[in-house]
Structure 1
Amino acid sequence: MDLSDKVAVVTGSGRGLGLGYARSLAAAGAAVVINDVDAEAADAAVEQISAAGGRAVAEVVPVGTASAAEALVARAVDSFGRLDVMVTNAGVLRDKVLWKMTDEDFDTVVQVHLRGTFTCVRAAVARMREQGEGGRIIVAGSPAGQRGNFGQTNYAAAKAGIAAMVRTWAMELARAGITANAVIPVAATAMTKTIPAFAPHIETLEQDGTAFPDSLRKGEGFGTVEDVAGLVTFLASDASAEVNGQCIGIGGDKLSLWSHPQEISVAYADGGWSADAIADAWPVTVGRTPQTFGIPAPRL
């Protein structure tokens, strides 16, 4: 991939997946705006990319507000003259079961993930449309947003909303040559290190570089940050021009395409449905094959 004529913003890119995305984009030639709330992490990321021969600058600001989004776009334009790619990766967690989740827990996660994605993409699209040369919107989804996950009402809701926004933006932005897609990553990060089935493997990887076994890389589609980053670089490139409105999973040795919600079973009743009629028909019509929910537990 040659992205030498592209300029990208990657939110939450001081460490973890965001840093992996920024490094991969820069290695392909793109100029990158690093964003994080931690100034030291952002500066270290810029130094790392620069040392490898890439181009990067930092903008330290918490995403979520319109002013933060506008500052990120302005940083790209002021530093590199344009903006071609917006990658919204920044996020936080406040995991609790429903009856223990506070308003603040809910609002904080929605503010960063859902509103942060909305404001950053809105600001980026305004610039891309002004340039008139198309662009790429790449947002971070999650299996939790596709399936639901115990203890993650706030996070799952935000990620499901992000997937819905991508499908909407794919329609709204197509005429301007701007594509919008969601990445559904599964990788070794500080977040997944809290999962008991994954923790020992991640610790071993960190200690001595031992590669993950096939039971993880293929069976669970679970690998390193570097395994995920290539998808973001592909979606930022001209090669992905026909890919739009999709939720694409990646992790380890696995690349996948997530389905969109659609009707899978229907029944009809002349004159409409009463409650009693639904009760009678449910087990023998649309209720015969109820949908599953939740992220399956790792099978190692």
Structure 2
Amino acid sequence: MTALDGRAVVVTGAGRGLGRAFAAQVAKVGGAVVVNDVDADLADETAALIRDGGGAAVGSAHDVADPEAAQAIVDLCLAEYGRLDGLVNNAGLNYEALPPDEDPRRARRLVEVNVLGVIYTGLAAVRAMAGGGGSIVNISSGAALGQRALATYAASKGAVASLTYSWALDLEELGIRVNAVCPVAHTRMVRGSERALRTCPPENTPDKVAPLVVYLLGDRSAGVTGQLIRCTGRLLHVVGQPYLKEPILERDCWDAGSVERAFDEVFHAHLEPYGLEKRLPPPLRHWLAEAEWGMIS
């Protein structure tokens, strides 16, 4: 017996890159796969590669951003394999743009795929899994913490993280586990960005992230749900959720003056670094510069 023997799994965005690696690894450990990609040729190519290796796979060119097409992906899995045990919501778009240069039409399409596509396919999968349980693995990103020139993409991945936490709460009683993976892998998206290439070397191949996804789909991860897990190929760790930071000030009523004093007297010393680069807010940068100057002088 291997990890996913007798299981049926849908992998979206599986025509290449991370999705292809996930689909191939699922098949390698016994799972039957619906290989979904909006590019029909790539979907069929991945499915053929799996079948050539002795696995079970069928291609799907449905667009996850269309709710009826998302349902059709799940229906195809049920028609081909008689069941659905796992879903990997990997389909996604990405591009770099600073806010003044954003194209609203491009931003809308990204959100439709990266957020609504996850919701539509996930809801269809939940309806199919409701009687017997299963596992959903959403693909999020560390960019959700904030990254330059990727605001729309980062926002979409932050939405996926929040969705993961909420679905894990909602679906636990149905026996459906929901987790998210933040992969760092050398893919087509990375190759299109000089900045990303500096932090993601070619040896960070998608197949190094795939074992984590397979683990989350299988029974050995039965106690794991509601988690955001980052894998860089070498590093593997759980991402902490946001929390309410001390100190917490209390008044019967806050007005403009008391809010200003709270920041001037208390909160300026407790502001959080922001973004993946952990940039300090201006008051902390100013304080640090003054402290360093005092040490030098």
TM-score, normalization by structure 1: 0.87
Deviating above 6 A after TM superposition, structure 1's stretches of 4 or more consecutive aligned residues are 200-203
Count of matched residue positions in the alignment of Structure 1 and Structure 2: 277
Give the stretch that moved more between structures: 268-277 or 165-174.
Answer: 268-277
Q: CA deviation at 1:44?
A: 1.0
Match of 1:234 among 212, 215, 221: 215
Give the aligned partner of residue 87 of structure 2.
86
> What CA distance in whole angstroms lies between the structure 2 residues aligned with 1:27 and 1:94?
32
CA contact (8 A) 1:224 1:251 kept: no
> What CA distance in whole angstroms lies between the structure 2 residues aligned with 1:283 and 1:54?
63
SS in 2 for 1:47: helix
> What CA distance in whole angstroms lies between the structure 1 residues aligned with 2:199 and 2:164?
33
Give the alignment's Cα RMSD to 1 decimal.
1.8
Give the stretch that moved more between structures: 88-97 or 132-141.
Answer: 88-97
Give the aligned partner of residue 24 of structure 1.
25
Q: CA deviation at 1:94?
A: 3.6
CA contact (8 A) 1:137 1:178 kept: yes
SS in 1 for 2:194: coil
What one-letter code is carried by the residue in structure 2 that aligns with 1:295?
A: L
SS in 1 for 2:128: helix
> What CA distance in whole angstroms lies between the structure 2 residues aligned with 1:240 and 1:142?
21
Q: Decide which structure has the larger Cα Rg and report it.
A: 2
Q: For residues 180-221 of structure 1, what are the alpha-carbon distances to aligned partners after superposition, in whole Å with 9 as ceiling and x for unaligned? A: 011000001111123436648989x5xxxxxx4xxxxxxxxx
Unaligned runs of 5+ in 2: 279-297
Whether 2:12 is the aligned partner of 1:11: answer yes
CA contact (8 A) 1:9 1:86 kept: yes
Q: CA deviation at 1:49?
A: 0.6
Superposed counterparts of 1:110-149, under 5 Å = 110-129=111-130, 132-145=131-144, 147-149=145-147
Whether 2:86 is the aligned partner of 1:52: answer no
Q: CA deviation at 1:261?
A: 1.3
What one-letter code is carried by the residue in structure 2 that aligns with 1:159?
A: K
> What CA distance in whole angstroms lies between the structure 2 residues aligned with 1:2 and 1:180?
18
What one-letter code is carried by the residue in structure 2 that aligns with 1:236?
A: L
Unaligned runs of 5+ in 1: 206-211, 213-222
SS in 2 for 1:191: helix
CA contact (8 A) 1:86 1:137 kept: yes
Give the aligned partner of residue 208 of structure 1.
none
Q: For residues 170-189 of structure 1, what are the alpha-carbon distances to aligned partners after superposition, in whole Å with 9 as ceiling and x for unaligned? A: 11100011000110000011
Match of 1:244 among 225, 239, 252: 225
What one-letter code is carried by the residue in structure 2 that aligns with 1:2?
A: A
Match of 1:151 among 143, 149, 152: 149
Q: CA deviation at 1:119?
A: 0.2
